[in-house]
A and B are shown apart, each in its own frame.
Chain A
Amino acid sequence: MDITDEKLIKLKEKANNIRISLIEALITAGSGHTAGPLDMADIFTVLFFHTLRHNPQKPEWPERDRLVLSNGHICPVLYSTMAYAGYFPVEELKTLRKFGSRLQGHPHRDFLPMLESSSGPLGSGLSQAVGMALADKIDHGLTSERRIYALLSDGELECGQTWEAAMLAGKEKLQNLVVVVDRNNIQIDGYTENVMPLESLSDKWRAWNWHVIEIDGHNIEEIADAFEAAKAIFGKPTVIIAHTIAGCGVPEFERDYRWHGKPPNKEEGEVAIKELRTLGGKIRSEHQ
């Protein structure tokens, strides 16, 4: 399904709003992660507003696709996208990480049952997605149109469990499984290639019988095309290695691993929001 020019503009605008709202939520929360949520905003936008078969009015619709967020710490972007998609009011984002909030510091189904999985400890999301894909395969065989999406960080590929799951998915030929790796090259302690080199990343997945697609994780059309292309792959799971810029959208935060695990303070947040509202100074903000 191609994206029209009109839809492209709408999706870009949506991604920008999602970024603004997640920065506002992080400022209010006073803790949380900034870089990953910002750099995954374009991919979340395409998923929730273009690719996913889901119904925010009926979150439990049995035929829906499944989306597992493995690196739960980037939940500000999940929550922000879900709010814009209509799962809950955008105003609720300001309760992020507060006592009693549905928006826990790491996603928890007890508080927000419409989540497909509670997550936080890294390395276990792919396994859960593999389980979902296996269940779908047991019930519907190779004709199933349902897709199971798993979103992973690059740093969590250092967890051995991810590769246990990758091996199983390759063995079971789970063509209904699509993984996105957020290749932003950072993790808490530094740049991934210094902490624990991951390259050659695509070769590693290919070795386990995966179909590999590499994309620019900020190009809306490329993202949508990759998800579409994955639907045509037979007898293999697909991994989309999305090359992203950590902290994308706010030049002050971009490519700096120190923004992995801290929120902006009020001043830094205001700068970020101004950058986003003016698209980096290209347009005038309506708030100016």
Chain B
Amino acid sequence: MFDKDVEQASIRQGFGEGLLAAGEKNPQVVGLCADLTESTKMNLFSEKFPNRFIQMGVAEQNMASVASGLAAMGKIPFISSYAMFSPGRNWEQIRTTICYNDRPVKIAGSHAGVSVGPDGGTHQAIEDIALTRVLPRMIVLSPCDAIEAKKATLASVDTGTPVYIRLAREKTPVMTTELTPFEIGKAQIYWQSAKPQVGIVATGALLHRALLAAKELEEKGIEVEVMNLSTIKPLDEKALIELAKKVGKIVTVEEHQIRGGMGSAVAECLAKNFPVPMEFIGVDDLFGQSGTPDELIEHYGMDTKSIIKAVNKILKR
């Protein structure tokens, strides 16, 4: 996992494979896409099940509400687009016709985060966790790699609720295997230490950079634990409180606005149950821009060096 030539795959690819598997398992699964079928990897499903796929055209608001109607008739619809447009552009339709209306639609938002790269800020969704976790009934999943994305997609079929699955465009390191446990609502510790001084809670592909930071810190004699928080809602409060009690200091890491994101969710939980000092790695109230993923991750302070810096800073608090 720490080698330079670590296996890479895109999180959206994991979604595509998961949806295909879900479609094979459950004939009620249907797919809807707003003119980005290959880009969101829904093409794996649409090619296998053309009669259960609906091409919506560039109409994300319609897509959300049409999915609500399909769900009303017993279907399990997955809708896909870029996260900026779904759940971005169609947020009110998701709020009213899906969540308020209690219809189990699954929303796959691809191209989340600044690592979308050269397309620039218009296409980099860094508000989607905030937009979805504020909605009653919504489950919010942010898988760390392609394999976990496949598991998250399959698990979302049977929740009976709306689910948001956050996906990324770029190929990123594969950290988990088919055997790694995954359960909606359960956080996992991916890096353990004998005497951890800081807990790093990460979500999405940045988990890999958090693990690289943990290794580097260990070499310098600083012990940390790293948690993969792939379910942002419902939050695994028990695991978070346990971690806070054990380490006493928490750094959160996410490719999202700091305000309203995963770190905010963790802070809400800990402030109420077991307040500890916290640092937040994320985008600090700015929009994205063009660049390579690595350049952008570094520019917005979400790279391994920034994580190490945040750990060193919190150790002095």
B 40-69 binary contact with A (CB < 8 Å = 1; else 0) = 000000000001101011010110111111
B69 engages A118 (CB within 8 Å): no
A-B contact pairs, 26 of them (CB 8 A): A66-B73, A108-B100, A109-B102, A117-B97, A118-B97, A120-B96, A121-B92, A121-B96, A124-B61, A127-B62, A127-B65, A127-B69, A127-B93, A127-B97, A131-B66, A131-B68, A132-B69, A132-B72, A133-B69, A134-B66, A135-B72, A138-B30, A161-B62, A167-B57, A167-B59, A168-B56
A66 to B69, CA, bound (A): 10
Task: Say if the beta carbon of B314 comes within 8 Å of chain A.
Answer: no
A134 engages B59 (CB within 8 Å): no
- Which of B52, B68, B97, B102 has most chain A Cβ within 10 Å? B97
- Which of A66, A119, A128 has most chain B Cβ within 10 Å? A128
Interface range for B: 20 to 34
A116 engages B62 (CB within 8 Å): no
A128 engages B62 (CB within 8 Å): no
With A138-B30, A138-B52 known as contacts, the answer to whether A124 contacts B73 (CB < 8 A) is no
Task: Say if the beta carbon of A165 comes within 8 Å of chain B.
Answer: yes
A139 CB contacts on chain B under 8 angstroms: 73
Task: Say if the beta carbon of B21 comes within 8 Å of chain A.
Answer: no
Task: Say if the beta carbon of A129 comes within 8 Å of chain B.
Answer: yes
Chain A positions near chain B (C-beta within 8 angstroms) = 66, 68, 108-110, 116-121, 124, 127-136, 138-139, 160-161, 164-165, 167-168, 172
User: Closest approach, in angstroms, between the C-beta of A172 and any C-beta of chain B?
Assistant: 8
Can you add 18 more A-B contacts, CB < 8 Å, to A124-B97, A135-B75?
A118-B96, A118-B101, A127-B61, A127-B64, A127-B93, A128-B69, A131-B70, A134-B69, A135-B69, A135-B74, A136-B73, A138-B51, A138-B75, A161-B61, A164-B61, A164-B62, A168-B54, A168-B56
B97 engages A128 (CB within 8 Å): yes
Name A70's closest neighbour in chain B (CB-CB): B65
Chain B positions near chain A (C-beta within 8 angstroms) = 30, 51-52, 54, 56-57, 59, 61-62, 64-75, 77, 92-93, 96-97, 100-102
B64 CB contacts on chain A under 8 angstroms: 127
With A124-B96, A136-B73, A138-B52 known as contacts, the answer to whether A130 contacts B66 (CB < 8 A) is yes
A128 engages B100 (CB within 8 Å): no
B62 CB contacts on chain A under 8 angstroms: 127, 130, 161, 164-165, 168
A134 engages B57 (CB within 8 Å): no
A119 to B57, CA, bound (A): 24
A131 to B93, CA, bound (A): 14
- Which of A66, A127, A132, A168 has most chain B Cβ within 10 Å? A127
With A124-B97, A135-B73 known as contacts, the answer to whether A165 contacts B30 (CB < 8 A) is no
Name A127's closest neighbour in chain B (CB-CB): B65
Name B95's closest neighbour in chain A (CB-CB): A121
B54 CB contacts on chain A under 8 angstroms: 134, 168, 172
Name A124's closest neighbour in chain B (CB-CB): B65
A120 to B61, CA, bound (A): 16
